[in-house]
Amino acid sequence: MKAFITCVILLVMASSLYAAQDVLILKTKKRLVGTVTNVTERGLSIRTAQGLFTYPWEALHEQSLKIYNPPMYEKLMEQRRKAFEELKRKQGLVQYKGRWMTPKQKEAAEMRDKGMDLFEGKWLPTNEIAAIKFRRQMEAEGKIEYKGQWYTEAELAEVKEMERNRGLKVGMKEDEVIAKWGKPTRRKESESFKAQQMEMWFYAREDEGVEDRLLFKMGTLSEIQLDQPLSE
């Protein structure tokens, strides 16, 4: 009641302050242009060039109801909302984040919001699905998994060789070896070695009583000898 009285006061004040004509739309879509002269709990009156007309609130289109009787308009919208929701529920739908959907669709939406997706009949984390697909792709390409990485047979053999040789592999250049192991403890360049453009590098591990030996031919690593007795 207080909201309605406030609305009436505002409308009367607006009518007295402004000479602009009011537009009233009926449910029949008929439009009346004139001046609203009387607003009551039951309806309102409008004076047009054709005369004075009085209408109950129920006769007004919702557009006019929104302007001249906001409380009634809000009540009407609430009724429509409840009726709409009831209809949707009768259709077996549920609401999720402002959308109406089937329970199955809601379940899917909730799972996807949790970072899950349906994969081969099961809900799994999307990153796990990606990992499964990637593994299958690698296996289809004939690759082998080793310590979290995928390799061809040739690549894996090379990786394992480097592991055995602590990061070295036959075919490396001198600067590559130095980048991995540093400079050798000493080098051997005998006359016979020089004739064949060969050089032996020694990496002593005196605390262990052993050394590693690397044979180079023309500046390229050709042989790796690990854990050899210390030489003089």
Model pLDDT for residues 35-76, shown as the tens digit of each residue: 998 899 999 999 999 999 999 999 999 999 999 999 999 999
142 pLDDT more than 70: yes
Quote the domain boundaries for residue 118. Answer: 103-132
Torsion angles phi and psi, residue 215, rounded to 5: -105, 125
Give yes or no for a contact between 181 and 168, defined as CB atoms under 8 angstroms apart.
yes
Residue 18's pLDDT is: 43
Cβ partners under 8 Å of residue 9, min gap 6: none
Structural domain tally of the chain? 3
Give yes or no for a contact between 198 and 174, defined as CB atoms under 8 angstroms apart.
no
Q: Is residue 37 one of the residues assigned to a domain?
A: yes
Residue 73's pLDDT is: 95
Name the domain boundary from 114, 132, 150.
132
Nearest to 149 by CA among 129, 134, 162, 164: 134
17 pLDDT more than 50: no
Give yes or no for a contact between 200 and 215, defined as CB atoms under 8 angstroms apart.
yes
Q: Is residue 180 one of the residues assigned to a domain?
A: yes
The encoded tokens of residue 205 equal: 């591990």
pLDDT band at 1 (very low <50, low <70, confident <90, very high): low
Do residues 111 and 61 both lie within one domain?
Answer: no
Q: Is residue 18 one of the residues assigned to a domain?
A: yes
Q: Is residue 122 one of the residues assigned to a domain?
A: yes
Do residues 117 and 180 both lie within one domain?
Answer: no
Do residues 120 and 183 both lie within one domain?
Answer: no
Do residues 128 and 172 both lie within one domain?
Answer: no
Q: What is the CATH number of the domain that holds 191?
A: 3.30.1450.10
Q: Is residue 144 one of the residues assigned to a domain?
A: no
| DSSP string across 116-158 | EEEETTEEEEHHHHHHHHHHHHHHHTT-EEETTEEE-HHHHHH
Q: Is residue 208 one of the residues assigned to a domain?
A: yes
* Residue 65: how many other CB atoms lie within 10 Å: 22
Residue 2's pLDDT is: 56
pLDDT band at 16 (very low <50, low <70, confident <90, very high): very low
Residue 6's pLDDT is: 56
- For residue 199, the 8-state DSSP code is E
Do residues 111 and 177 both lie within one domain?
Answer: no
Q: What is the CATH number of the domain that holds 7?
A: 2.30.30.100
Do residues 69 and 10 both lie within one domain?
Answer: yes
Look at residue 48 and give its three-state secondary structure: strand
